Structure 1
Amino acid sequence: MKKWFGLALIVSTAMIGCLKNDEVKPCTPKTVESEKAAMTKFATDSSITTMTDPSGLMYEIISPGTGATPLANSNVTAKYVGRFLNGKGFDSSYVRDPGGTAFPLNGVITGWQIGIPKIKEGGKIKLIVPSSLAYGCDIRYGQMANQPLYFYVELVKVQ
């Protein structure tokens, strides 16, 4: 399996608290509804024409792809960029692994588990993921905890 160090940041985890000012404080998970306005503003400001999944995941299919469709238990290879809604980047496979990063789809954040199967191999998608479908309040993810996130994803291969 290819390196997927960076994608380890996308692994789904339990919500256990938020990190602020170097001390652990209680964290109240945000609801999709409470983040909807910020997510919609980001989409509008970024000229992303989104559809919304019943889960609250917002997405735009750039290219549907023509290859295999990933299933929940598929191993996939993807190229991606992750950003906060303020535009600041936090991860990019293009820098770390230009050929793409391989990972089991059922081992990443719920937003990816919902969004990636909307395209086929060779497809491209933009995902705006509510915090509840990303890292929730898990302090291991620092600034990404309890934040809605944006991803641009190219699905390179489905195995």
Structure 2
Amino acid sequence: MIKKLLVFSSVVVLLSSCVKSKDTGCQYKESTVVAPASEQATLQTYVNANDPAAILHPSGFYYKITAPSTGSVTPGVCSSVTVRYSGYLTNGTKFDENLSGINFVLGGLIIGWQKGIPLIKKGGTITLYLPPSLGYGSNAVGSIPANSILIFYIQLLDVQ
């Protein structure tokens, strides 16, 4: 009897160790990046002069929620989000825009969007003021010069 119980217990332990945890397929992790103090100081000077009502996020960017959210779902790094947006440099140059709505997986975007978009829910609108390290950093991308402060006006249309 003890031998059968020992064999049964061994089989249960072996089978339970083979059970996989639920795999969502998401490979993205929450970013812990915080902008360096020098970037935060430069960004603060710009924001103080142009939008003093903007709020400092612990990661070192500023944001302003310009329209209240109507939805109940807060996007996470693995969420698929549909947004309308416009992107500007501090000199007023528009470098990108999509007003018809475009879908992205949040974790595949720049860190500033990963941290900023979850501050609103479906239907919300936010302005993000991003230091370079939460944008494209020292990389020039298209018409965006390296080490640029980026300004985005974003409307969150949907969250999946």
Give the TM-score taking structure 1 as reference length.
0.71
Larger RCO, structure (CA 8 Å, separation 6 or more) = 1
Match of 2:131 in 1: 130
Supply the AA of the counterpart residue of 1:55. Answer: S
Deviation at 1:48, TM superposition (A): 5.1
The answer to whether 1:55 aligns with 2:56 is no
Match of 2:90 in 1: 85
Structure 1: give runs of 5+ residues left out of the alignment: 1-30
Structure 2: give runs of 5+ residues left out of the alignment: 1-34
Deviation at 1:137, TM superposition (A): 1.5
Q: Deviations over 1:79-116 (max 9, x none)?
A: 0010001111100102xxx2x11010000000000000
Percent of residue pairs bearing the same amino acid type: 42
Supply the AA of the counterpart residue of 1:56. Answer: G
Distance 1:139 1:91 in 2: 14
Q: Is this contact kept in 2: 1:51–1:59, CA < 8 A?
A: yes
Match of 1:23 in 2: none
Secondary structure at 1:87's aligned position in 2? coil
| Residues paired across the two proteins, number | 125
Deviation at 1:46, TM superposition (A): 3.3
- Over the aligned positions, Cα root-mean-square deviation in angstroms equals 1.8
Supply the AA of the counterpart residue of 1:71. Answer: G
Relative to 1, partners in 2 of residues 1:133 and 1:66: Cα closer, same or farther, differing over 3 Å? same
Match of 2:108 in 1: 107
Q: Is this contact kept in 1: 2:95–2:143, CA < 8 A?
A: no
Supply the AA of the counterpart residue of 1:47. Answer: D
Within-5 A mapping of 1:134-149? 134-141=135-142, 143-149=144-150
Distance 1:80 1:149 in 2: 12
